Amino acid sequence: MKNIIKNKVFNRLHQSVKKNNFSHFYIFYGPQNIGKKRLALDFAKSILCNSIKDTEACNECDSCKKIYSETHYDLINVDNQTPIEGINDNKSDQIRIGHIHEIIRNSNLGPFMGKYKIFIINDAENLNNEASNAFLKLLEEPPMTSIFIFLVNDISLVYPTIISRAQKINLSENSDSEIMNYLDDNFQLDKELEELIVHFSSGKIELADSFANDTTLIDDYVESCERFYDFCNGDLNQRMNISQKLSSSFRSDRKMIYDELNLWISYCKIIIKKKFNKNNAFEFKKNLENLYSLDQINEIILILLKTQSYLQNNANSRLVFDVMSIDIPEKTNHDKQL
């Protein structure tokens, strides 16, 4: 079982376990892959462990093992894909009132194995209006044996009345050295690969973990960066063609496009960061610096963030990508590579 990074957030949660003083409702928020799920599982372990020492879960007991494999009866994961009884079409990307009704029913049954039942609601910014209202009702009198944890990428999309009822935990990027230590503790990788992963994961522990578990993902990552490079390198016509493809992919698989936009943002950040840290030997074959100044790359990050936010607010996706195509500056540097 993996060691996790023990930072301020970790300590705060563990103090509350020690004092047996925890809230019934938490919101863990921060960018995708930052480690929200992992923190929630660790917290669940320390609450449900059968032989806890001080505030640390033993990682050995039946309960710890079942939480780690996400098969514990008192740990319930919910997301927009969770089946709802009696509803066949589950294509919606929202968390719906049926999900909340199922949570209420399950929560009223009480825990099976331990003292608490823990509900992890993934991407909880996807609760629609009805579901949010039903959840607020539930919070008025939450069953004493239930703990609800919302994992949220963008907290601005959650009802303020829900936020105000929660114990909020803000997760931020880990430092490169924390990620490096984490990889040293848990994997046996050669130094060069380790550095590459630190570089690509940009402080996001869950991303570092995926790369270390499956190094072919690094190639996928680089391909995605190169797609963005080609987009920037294109003229307006070429960009508009790509815009059309992005928009039709978005209609069939929103998550894939959000992931792609996140990768592009982190690609821009890596290029900026690299400017200030020359120790890292890795070079992109297609480097945005061949096209733009650093100021322009900064500007592009803002445009990508704006694009994400428009999409999350359900603006017309074709229009959003067309605007992005026009907003992203034309290349100014001479392309030295191609």
Kindly list the residues in this chain that would bind Zn ion in the complex (CB under 5 A).
49, 57-58, 61, 64
Q: How far apart are CA 104 and CA 220, in angstroms?
A: 40
Q: Decide: 218 and 211 in contact? Cβ < 8 Å.
A: yes
Q: What is the DSSP string of 82-120?
A: S-BTTB-----SSB-HHHHHHHHHHHHT--SSSS-EEEE
Q: What is the DSSP string of 152-171?
A: ES-GGGS-HHHHTTSEEEE-
Q: How far apart are CA 125 and CA 174, in angstroms?
A: 23
Residue 220 Cβ vs Zn ion, minimum distance, rounded to whole Å: 35
Q: Which is nearer to Zn ion, 59 or 249 (CB)?
A: 59
Residue 45 Cβ vs Zn ion, minimum distance, rounded to whole Å: 7
Length, in residues, of the chain: 338
Q: How far apart are CA 210 and CA 33, in angstroms?
A: 10
Q: Which is nearer to Zn ion, 58 or 294 (CB)?
A: 58
Q: How far apart are CA 235 and CA 80, in angstroms?
A: 38
Q: Which is nearer to Zn ion, 50 or 170 (CB)?
A: 50
Q: Which is nearer to Zn ion, 61 or 104 (CB)?
A: 61
Q: Which is nearer to Zn ion, 58 or 240 (CB)?
A: 58
Residue 63 Cβ vs Zn ion, minimum distance, rounded to whole Å: 5
